[in-house]
């Protein structure tokens, strides 16, 4: 897209110069999201400050068939907000108004650029909060959460982003504007659940302009227990005990030694020195939580934990979670590069998955730090490598591929909450049949005939620049997928 | 982030290390005042890291990145926010020093810089320049924005100098021995701070030395890239400060964090070990006093509602969050009030008020509002920059809220208690 | 004459869809208003495609064929101390497929969420006769478009569900119910709003007209030891904050929490609304029997005059669905979204076969 490109000319009429970014120094900083293995420079970036500007921008892109990517804070771990080379980037950060909060009906109406945690801050005076808590909640935006149906440590009980959206106004990829859902807790209620379809569509359908979210009352009591184990398998078994007990904790998390070390170095969370750490958090009405907590402690003691610690106050609880939530980035202290995986396995096969991952890392001679939402069976192996070493990235990718193949084989998924984005698009054929992918493509084309919204993401062999990949795909080598 | 930095700058390894450890996760955005204000990647910590990386890799002309690097307050709020432990301060200070040597500034800016270089480090000259500035204030509107900002920061008239003796003996049982580093700007704008600090230390049984031949720490000069001059000033202090003290006390947050950067400033210099020894000895007033503990009697006869304003160079750069609060909580009848976004910069940040007046004013306004919302009787800080910024904000709002250095408040608490007993 | 088929296998259903121009899917026919009677519509009766396919209590997941009666699923879950937290509305005869197609969650949806919040995946035969799966079988999955949620409320008009997978939860071992009486609707709503912002975690909260005002039914679930003090706390809080005329514990029976049990008229409909619209709806439907479920977010309305209800809802901008009764057009009031739905229809059922 040269300066003389009609889109740029039209954008100049729509945006003042300070909100139409075209200079190298500006665009360079938008080249990557939180997955820096990919980078790609857009032709321009715009910073709309009104719904009307977003709609008009999308219409122009459709009219001129220029691909666009909508972006919030660029915290995607799957390359989901990677710009399209020579396409347009729409940065929604200044559409960041919380339009209204109705504490009585427990709903808030927000713009897409509102930061996740800011909703909780705004709701806190009423004793309410916004439940989905991705680790990046202090900065990630609701728009991005919608695109990727973001989860978090506390999704076991109350679900992911999709479960907290009641209504939306969106502009589809061709500029058509539509609204669905309602202010009722029943959301769409009558007619197909379009919220469920739109949330998690990875920006391929259009851009959310206004979102009605539900708020939850802050639990009266939290009880957070840290259990330390000398063996990862024991921690996994302890999870099965919790689940079998009939308790429904707010969060069940496991970290292995390497992850503990990284988190400890980053935030001094006060984690014990252990092979594995299990964090179980109960939340709810005090009499219920206290009764369950006593039961939980006894259960954890019986599970072979060599040390139990419970948070004595809110500050201690915050520190425990800060360590957990900073664990990914903290791995930056251990290694210049890493790949985060996001596979899901049936919970009962967690132990098996961990044992196999251990064998795989030995086979590939790579370090892997494990952090996972054990309650959901959602694994986050972090594969450490040094990108400056020739062949290191390929080795890490090969291991990542084997881990994903393992997740599928165990009956799980290639992604629990980070989405497919750029990173896992080539693994889609391993999880879905050709027909299923065809249906999804047909759906996408019915909504975005010119395939301009976040082009290149989710579907295999898109046009956006890929991670340098030479030779066969790791899954091809294992015979899981083939391109005939 | 991977990089291909080939720069032969002496601090290139430190810069490369900081860039390498950044994983671009974005956690720093939430802590960054310029990102909060502008909402753009190039005005965020990770964006600036990308820009510096590209300049160091010779992929981007330095001039194109400059505006965004300049806009960084250097508040270091991103450092504790960073889970990867990126040494952003090392990168920024090294990069700025490197660029400063090469950069051509527009003529008016250059005059302002010269004024900073030749006046700020020397209290006497600064007093003279400030008086001259006061004359120029009448012409305020006709002057370029940076000048106006600098003039606005100055009080209507400078207070009289308050000379301190070379030695203040410990009162009562002797509990320690320190030297005070007086600093430059602060000594001209508010000589009472060091005076109060010396009195409070002495009242707590500390023997206080105030070597007369000392100089500015050089931190401001390092900020504007005049490294050799900065080292020259630092070396004067190596000579001037007595060796047998428990600590060298500073009452200016900027001096404390600037001296922490001596490792970078003296890298490759023959006296780098001496610089390291010196910087190890330097402690902020609040950190030292919190460690030795306050002596009774002190306190106020009536409740005083106080907001503590965290200076970035104490909170983020030196990690001093608890220490000043520990001191304040030891004062009977003082109620410490929490404020929203306590960790967010007030916009003062060294010479930032002069370089980036618009953002500085916006951040100052936000800070003033969140403080006023708590309805305090007084605001306390550990940094002259914050104090000046907040005073100006309150004055422009018609608020007569006193803004004190923590040493001054402690001094009041001691004299109040003495008067009432 | 209407063509009808009772397929036992997916392939049979595929053939049936391919072989007919207009196809309507049904289960046990528990929602009489949702089945068109035109002669040119072929009926796919899924009542023989039943049974649990996979139930792993440790995974919190259950997969069943679409024609499975709710009662069968509930019994299997209860044997393991688990339940479907969205609380299927019609537990007696309804099938799980029909419950999803009509989006019918019961009163207990108040605690954790509705049907859409617990559906994980589905196998379908779409309008093109293609059989495939959407969503997944694990409790968390973010790969691909989530068409399984889209099926909720889709009335079988985009694809026919043949198998469904849900997330299930451990059920509370004990329950207590409380009945509160308020003189006015405003007072009862104020009590709902108070509870919405409180620390109390109610299993269900329904509002219904009573002889001398309004009844608010609140239900708590949990451990046996914690339940009595919790009930006492909530009763005390409601008494001091909302001044009910009476606050009495009532026997916690299944009947009490079956919202349709007292609604008896020619037509029964679901209406979606935020609780603050209840006063407006009350004015629009005076004379109808009704119960407000899920903290006042869903209304169950029984009426003799469905056309009047349709008009009233349209005037209020509310959407409804007629479940029982011989009615021409089950979608009531405000028309559902059409732009995005039409595009999905074009992709899944390009020939417009499924009605």
Q: Delimit the domains of chain B by residue range.
A: 12-102, 107-152, 167-291, 296-420
Report chain B's mean pLDDT, rounded to a whole number.
85
CATH code of B296-420, in short, is 3.40.50
> Cβ(A416)–Cβ(A151) under 8 Å?
yes
> Cβ(B386)–Cβ(B311) under 8 Å?
yes
A24 contacts on B by Cβ (under 8 Å): 60, 64
Please name each of the domains of chain A with its CATH number.
Answer: 6-91 (3.30.43.10), 98-217 (3.30.465.10), 221-330 (3.30.70.2190), 335-444 (3.30.70.2740)
Q: Do C344 and A443 touch (CB under 8 A)?
A: yes
pLDDT digits (tens, 9 = 90+) for A313-336: 988 999 888 888 888 778 878 887
pLDDT digits (tens, 9 = 90+) for B50-81: 999 999 999 999 999 999 998 888 888 899 89
Confidence of residue B385 (pLDDT cuts 50, 70, 90): confident
Nearest to C153 among A188, A243, A377 (CB): A188
Token pair 């020397």 is at which residue?
A: B122
Q: Do C274 and A183 touch (CB under 8 A)?
A: yes
CA dist A72 to A113, A116, A241, B67, C179, Å? 6, 11, 40, 23, 47
Predicted local distance difference test score (pLDDT) of residue B141: 40
Lowest mean pLDDT among A79-88, B123-132, B374-383: B123-132
Q: Distance (Å, rounded) from C-alpha B182 to C-alpha B185?
A: 9
pLDDT over 70 percentage in chain B: 84
Token pair 């947050």 is at which residue?
A: B253
DSSP letter assigned to residue A413: B
> Cβ(C42)–Cβ(C23) under 8 Å?
yes
Collapsing DSSP to helix, strand or coil, C3 comes out as coil
Give C250's strand partners. C177
Q: Do A336 and B20 touch (CB under 8 A)?
A: yes
pLDDT over 90 percentage in chain B: 54
Nearest residue to C331 via CA among C102, C20, C16: C102
Structure tokens at C76: 């299997």
Sequence-separated (6 or more) residues with CB below 8 Å from residue A337? A37, A384, A385, A386, A387, A392, A393, A396, B2
The beta-strand segments (E) located in B235-292 are 247-250, 282-284
Q: Which residue of chain C is at minimal alpha-carbon distance from A168?
A: C337
Same domain, C310 and C272: yes
Query: Which among C210, C234, C252 is the end of a domain?
Result: C252
Compute CA A29 distance to the chain's CA centroid, rounded to the nearest angstrom.
Answer: 21
Same domain, C231 and C269: no
pLDDT digits (tens, 9 = 90+) for A210-236: 999 999 999 999 999 999 999 988 898
C-alpha triplet C116, C121, C122: angle, nearest 5°: 105
Chain C nearest C-alpha distance from A94 (Å): 27
Same domain, C137 and C232: no
Structure tokens at B311: 């200076």
Q: What residues 182-241 of chain A have any CB closer than 8 A to a CB of chain B? A: none
Nearest residue to A414 via CA among A163, A78, A36: A78
Nearest residue to B199 via CA among B420, B379, B418: B418
Same domain, C150 and C213: no
Chain A nearest C-alpha distance from B54 (Å): 9
B285-292 helix and B322-329 helix, angle to the nearest 10 degrees: 50
Same domain, C73 and C149: yes
Q: Spell out, as residue ranges, where chain C has pLDDT lower than 50.
A: none
Structure tokens at A372: 């996972």
Predicted local distance difference test score (pLDDT) of residue B216: 83
B406-420 helix and B322-329 helix, angle to the nearest 10 degrees: 10
Predicted local distance difference test score (pLDDT) of residue A384: 92
* Between C334 and B156, the higher pLDDT residue: C334
* In-domain check, residue C82: yes
Nearest to B60 among A28, A34, A117 (CB): A28
Give B210's strand partners. none
pLDDT digits (tens, 9 = 90+) for B352-371: 666 778 888 889 999 999 99
CA dist B85 to A238, A262, B28, B89, Å? 33, 10, 11, 11
Q: Distance (Å, rounded) from C-alpha C157 to C-alpha A265?
A: 55
pLDDT digits (tens, 9 = 90+) for A141-186: 999 999 999 988 888 899 999 999 999 999 999 999 999 999 999 9
* Between B218 and C241, the higher pLDDT residue: C241
Nearest to C346 among A291, A345, A446 (CB): A446
Confidence of residue B155 (pLDDT cuts 50, 70, 90): low
Give C169's strand partners. C83
A124 CB near a chain C CB, below 8 Å? no
Collapsing DSSP to helix, strand or coil, A30 comes out as coil
A168 contacts on C by Cβ (under 8 Å): none
Nearest residue to B289 via CA among B415, B414, B120, B153: B414
CB-count exposure of residue C238 (10 Å: 0-12, 13-18, 19+): buried
First to last CA, chain A: 34
Nearest residue to A230 via CA among A272, A275, A271: A275
Q: Spell out, as residue ranges, where chain A has pLDDT lower than 70.
A: 1-4, 461-484
Nearest to C116 among A106, A179, A196 (CB): A196
Q: Is B140 a residue whose pLDDT tops 70?
A: no
Q: Do C197 and A247 touch (CB under 8 A)?
A: no
Structure tokens at A118: 């800011």
pLDDT digits (tens, 9 = 90+) for B289-346: 999 999 988 889 999 999 999 999 899 989 999 999 999 999 999 999 999 888 899 9
Q: Do A96 and B25 touch (CB under 8 A)?
A: no
Same domain, C69 and C141: yes
* In-domain check, residue C343: no
* Between B20 and A194, the higher pLDDT residue: A194
Give C289's strand partners. C302
A159 CB near a chain C CB, below 8 Å? yes
| CA dihedral sign, ordered A388, A393, A399, A403 | positive
Structure tokens at B252: 């200016």
Structure tokens at A420: 């497919």
pLDDT digits (tens, 9 = 90+) for A412-444: 999 988 899 988 898 999 889 999 999 999 999
Query: Which among C230, C252, C274 is the end of a domain?
Result: C252
Q: Is B223 a residue whose pLDDT tops 90?
A: no
pLDDT digits (tens, 9 = 90+) for A460-472: 865 443 333 334 4
> Cβ(C113)–Cβ(C124) under 8 Å?
no
Sequence-separated (6 or more) residues with CB below 8 Å from residue B393? B364, B365, B367, B368
H-helix or E-strand containing B60? none
Predicted local distance difference test score (pLDDT) of residue B327: 94
Q: How many domains does chain C have?
A: 3
Q: Distance (Å, rounded) from C-alpha B259 to C-alpha B239?
A: 15
DSSP letter assigned to residue C355: -
Compute CA A33 distance to the chain's CA centroid, rounded to the nearest angstrom.
Answer: 12
- State the DSSP string of B173-194: S--EEEEEE--SHHHHH-HHHH
Nearest to A28 among B22, B40, B50 (CB): B50
A189 contacts on C by Cβ (under 8 Å): 103, 153, 270, 272, 298, 319
Same domain, C183 and C244: yes
Check if CATH label 3.30.300 holds for domain B167-291: no
3-class SS letters over C103-131:
CCECCCHHHHCCHHHHEEEEEEEECCCCE
Collapsing DSSP to helix, strand or coil, B342 comes out as coil
> Cβ(C43)–Cβ(C2) under 8 Å?
yes
Nearest residue to A227 via CA among A306, A123, A154, A318: A306
CA dist B114 to B111, B151, B185, B388, C301, Å? 5, 15, 15, 22, 80
Range of the domain at C287: 259-333
Q: Which CATH number covers residue C284?
A: 3.30.70
Q: Which residue of chain C is at minimal alpha-carbon distance from A150?
A: C142
Q: Which CATH number covers residue C225?
A: 3.30.70.260
Q: Which residue of chain A is at minimal alpha-carbon distance from B83?
A: A330
Q: ipTM of the predicted structure?
A: 0.96
Same domain, C182 and C138: no
Same domain, C13 and C145: yes
Of these ranges, A12-26, B137-151, B247-261, the one predicted with the greatest mean pLDDT is A12-26
Chain B nearest C-alpha distance from A176 (Å): 28
> Cβ(A45)–Cβ(A26) under 8 Å?
yes
Same domain, C163 and C216: no
Tally A–B CB contacts below 8 A.
108
A21 contacts on B by Cβ (under 8 Å): 40
* In-domain check, residue C344: no
Helices (H), A274-391: 286-302, 314-325, 327-330, 350-364
| Sheet (strand B378-381) strand order | B334-337, B304-309, B378-381, B403-405
Q: Which residue of chain A is at minimal alpha-carbon distance from B50?
A: A29
Nearest residue to A327 via CA among A278, A370, A270: A370
Predicted local distance difference test score (pLDDT) of residue B124: 67
A32 contacts on B by Cβ (under 8 Å): 24
Question: Residue C225, Cβ neighbours under 10 Å: how many?
Answer: 13
Lowest mean pLDDT among A473-477, B383-387, B405-409, C84-88: A473-477
Q: Distance (Å, rounded) from C-alpha C244 to C-alpha C214?
A: 10
Structure tokens at B315: 């909170």
Q: Which chains touch B (3 or more CB pairs under 8 A)?
A: A
Computed on alpha carbons and rounded to an integer, the radius of gyration of chain C in Å comes to 21
CATH code of B12-102, in short, is 1.10.1060.10
Cis peptide before B297 (omega within 30 of 0): yes
Same domain, C283 and C244: no
Predicted local distance difference test score (pLDDT) of residue B132: 61
H-helix or E-strand containing A436? helix A434-447
> Cβ(C329)–Cβ(C35) under 8 Å?
no
pLDDT digits (tens, 9 = 90+) for C48-72: 999 999 999 989 999 999 999 999 9
Q: Distance (Å, rounded) from C-alpha A270 to C-alpha A319?
A: 8
Nearest to B83 among A23, A36, A326 (CB): A326
CB-count exposure of residue B243 (10 Å: 0-12, 13-18, 19+): exposed
First to last CA, chain C: 17
A329 CB near a chain C CB, below 8 Å? no
C320 contacts on A by Cβ (under 8 Å): 190
Q: Do A440 and C193 touch (CB under 8 A)?
A: no
Token pair 């985060």 is at which residue?
A: A340
A192 contacts on C by Cβ (under 8 Å): 150-154, 158, 336, 341, 344
> Cβ(A237)–Cβ(A280) under 8 Å?
no
């Amino acid at each position: 897209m040269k300066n003389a490109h009609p889109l740029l000319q039209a954008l100049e009429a729509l945006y003042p110069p300070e909100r139409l970014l075209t200079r190298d120094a500006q665009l360079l900083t938008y080249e990557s999201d939180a997955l820096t293995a990919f980078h790609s420079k857009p032709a321009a970036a715009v910073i709309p400050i009104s719904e009307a500007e977003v709609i008009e921008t999308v219409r122009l892109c459709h009219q001129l068939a220029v691909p666009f990517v909508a972006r919030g804070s660029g915290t995607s771990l799957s390359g989901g907000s990677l710009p399209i080379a020579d396409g347009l980037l729409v940065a929604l950060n200044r559409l960041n108004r919380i339009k209204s909060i109705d504490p009585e009906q427990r709903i808030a109406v927000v713009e897409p650029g509102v930061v996740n945690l800011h909703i909780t801050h705004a709701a806190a005076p009423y004793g309410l909060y916004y439940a989905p808590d991705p680790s990046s909640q202090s900065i990630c935006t609701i728009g991005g959460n919608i695109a990727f149906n973001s989860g978090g440590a506390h999704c076991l009980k109350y679900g992911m982003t999709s479960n907290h959206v009641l209504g939306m106004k969106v502009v589809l990829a061709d500029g058509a504007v539509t609204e669905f859902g309602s202010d009722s807790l029943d959301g769409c209620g009558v007619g197909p659940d379009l919220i469920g379809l739109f949330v998690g569509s990875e920006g391929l359908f259009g851009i959310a302009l206004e979102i009605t979210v539900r708020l939850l009352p802050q639990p009266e009591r939290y009880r957070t227990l840290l259990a330390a184990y000398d063996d990862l398998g024991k921690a996994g078994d302890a999870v099965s005990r919790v689940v079998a007990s009939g308790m429904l904790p707010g969060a069940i998390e496991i970290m292995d030694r390497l992850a503990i070390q990284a988190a400890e170095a980053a935030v001094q969370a006060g984690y014990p020195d252990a092979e594995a750490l299990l964090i179980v958090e109960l939340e709810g009405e005090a009499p219920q939580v206290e009764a369950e907590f006593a039961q939980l402690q006894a259960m954890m003691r019986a599970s072979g934990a060599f040390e139990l610690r419970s948070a004595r106050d809110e500050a201690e609880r915050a520190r425990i979670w800060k360590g957990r939530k900073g664990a990914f980035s903290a791995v930056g202290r251990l290694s210049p590069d890493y790949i985060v995986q996001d596979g899901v396995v049936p919970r009962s096969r967690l132990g098996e998955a961990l044992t196999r991952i251990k064998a795989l890392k030995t086979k590939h001679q790579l370090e892997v730090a494990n952090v996972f939402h054990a309650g959901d069976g959602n694994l986050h192996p972090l594969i450490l490598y040094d990108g400056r070493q020739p062949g290191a990235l390929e080795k890490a990718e090969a291991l990542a591929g084997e881990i994903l193949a393992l997740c599928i084989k165990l009956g799980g998924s290639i992604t629990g909450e980070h989405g497919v984005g750029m990173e896992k698009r080539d693994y889609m054929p391993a999880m879905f049949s050709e027909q299923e992918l065809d249906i999804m493509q047909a759906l996408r084309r019915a909504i975005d005939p010119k395939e301009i919204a976040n082009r290149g993401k989710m579907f295999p062999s898109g046009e956006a620049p890929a991670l340098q990949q030479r030779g066969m795909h790791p899954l091809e080598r294992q015979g899981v997928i083939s391109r005939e | 982030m991977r990089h291909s930095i080939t720069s032969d700058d002496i601090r290139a390894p430190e810069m490369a290390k900081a860039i390498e450890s950044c994983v671009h996760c974005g956690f720093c955005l939430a802590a960054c005042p310029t990102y909060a204000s502008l909402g753009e990647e190039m005005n965020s910590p990770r964006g600036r890291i990308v820009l510096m990386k590209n300049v160091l890799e010779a992929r981007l002309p330095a001039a194109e990145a400059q505006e965004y690097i300049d806009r960084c307050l250097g508040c270091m709020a991103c450092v504790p926010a960073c889970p990867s432990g990126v040494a952003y301060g090392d990168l920024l200070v090294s990069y700025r020093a490197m660029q400063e040597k090469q950069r051509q500034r527009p003529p008016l800016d250059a005059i302002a810089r010269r004024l900073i270089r030749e006046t700020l480090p020397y209290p006497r000259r600064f007093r003279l320049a400030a008086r001259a500035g006061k004359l120029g204030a009448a012409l305020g509107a006709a002057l370029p924005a940076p000048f106006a900002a600098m003039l606005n920061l100055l009080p209507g008239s400078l207070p009289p100098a308050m000379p301190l003796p070379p030695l203040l003996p410990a009162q009562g049982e002797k509990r320690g021995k320190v030297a005070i580093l007086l600093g430059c700007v602060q000594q001209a704008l508010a000589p009472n701070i060091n005076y109060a600090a010396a009195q409070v230390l002495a009242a707590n049984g500390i023997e206080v030395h105030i070597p007369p031949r000392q100089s500015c720490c050089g931190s401001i000069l390092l900020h504007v890239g005049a490294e050799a001059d900065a080292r020259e000033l630092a070396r004067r202090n190596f000579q001037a400060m007595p060796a047998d003290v428990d600590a060298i006390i500073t009452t200016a947050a900027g001096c404390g964090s600037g001296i922490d950067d001596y490792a970078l400033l003296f890298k490759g210099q023959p006296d780098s070990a001496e610089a390291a020894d010196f910087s190890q000895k330097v402690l902020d007033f609040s950190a030292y006093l919190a460690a030795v503990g306050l002596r009774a009697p002190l306190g106020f006869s009536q409740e005083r509602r106080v907001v503590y304003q965290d200076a970035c160079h104490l909170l983020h750069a030196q990690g001093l969050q608890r220490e000043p609060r520990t001191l304040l909580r030891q004062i009977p009848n003082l109620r410490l009030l929490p404020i929203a976004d306590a960790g967010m910069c007030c916009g003062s940040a060294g010479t930032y008020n002069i370089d980036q007046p618009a953002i500085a004013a916006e951040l100052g306004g936000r800070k003033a509002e969140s403080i006023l919302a708590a309805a305090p009787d007084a605001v306390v800080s550990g940094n002259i920059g914050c104090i000046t910024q907040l005073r100006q904000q309150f004055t422009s709002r018609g608020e007569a809220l006193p803004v004190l250095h923590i040493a001054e408040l402690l001094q009041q608490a001691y004299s109040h208690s003495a008067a009432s007993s | 004459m209407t063509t009808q088929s009772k397929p036992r296998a997916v392939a049979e259903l595929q053939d049936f869809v391919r072989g007919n121009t207009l196809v309507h899917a049904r289960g046990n026919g528990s929602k009489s208003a949702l089945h068109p009677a035109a002669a040119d519509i072929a009926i796919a009766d899924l009542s023989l495609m039943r049974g649990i396919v996979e139930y792993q209590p440790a995974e919190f997941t259950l997969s069943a064929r679409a024609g499975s009666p709710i009662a069968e699923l509930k019994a299997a879950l209860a044997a393991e101390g688990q339940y479907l937290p969205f609380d299927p509305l019609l537990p007696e005869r309804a099938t799980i497929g029909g419950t999803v197609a009509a989006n019918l969650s019961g009163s207990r949806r108040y605690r954790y969420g509705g049907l859409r919040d617990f559906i994980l995946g589905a196998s379908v035969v779409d309008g093109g006769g293609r059989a495939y799966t959407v969503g997944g079988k694990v409790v968390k999955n973010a790969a691909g478009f989530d068409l399984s949620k889209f099926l909720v409320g889709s009335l079988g008009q985009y694809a026919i569900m043949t198998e469904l997978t849900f997330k299930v939860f451990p059920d509370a071992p004990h329950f207590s119910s409380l009945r509160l009486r308020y003189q006015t609707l405003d007072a009862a709503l104020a009590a709902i709003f108070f509870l919405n912002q409180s620390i109390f975690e109610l299993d269900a909260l329904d509002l219904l007209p009573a002889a001398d005002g309004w009844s608010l039914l609140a239900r708590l679930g949990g451990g046996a030891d914690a339940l009595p003090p919790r009930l006492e706390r909530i009763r005390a809080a409601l008494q001091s904050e909302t001044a009910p005329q009476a606050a009495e514990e009532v026997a916690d029976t299944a009947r009490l929490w079956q919202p349709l049990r007292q609604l008896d008229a020619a037509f029964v409909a679901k209406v979606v609304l935020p609780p603050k619209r209840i006063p407006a709806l009350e004015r629009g439907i005076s004379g109808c029997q009704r119960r407000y479920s899920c903290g006042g977010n869903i209304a169950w309305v029984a009426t003799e005059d469905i056309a009047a209800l349709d008009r009233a809802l349209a005037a209020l901008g509310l959407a409804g669905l007629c479940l029982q009764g011989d009615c021409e057009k089950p979608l009531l009031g405000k028309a559902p979204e059409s732009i995005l739905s039409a595009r999905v229809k074009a992709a899944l059922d390009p020939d417009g076969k499924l009605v």
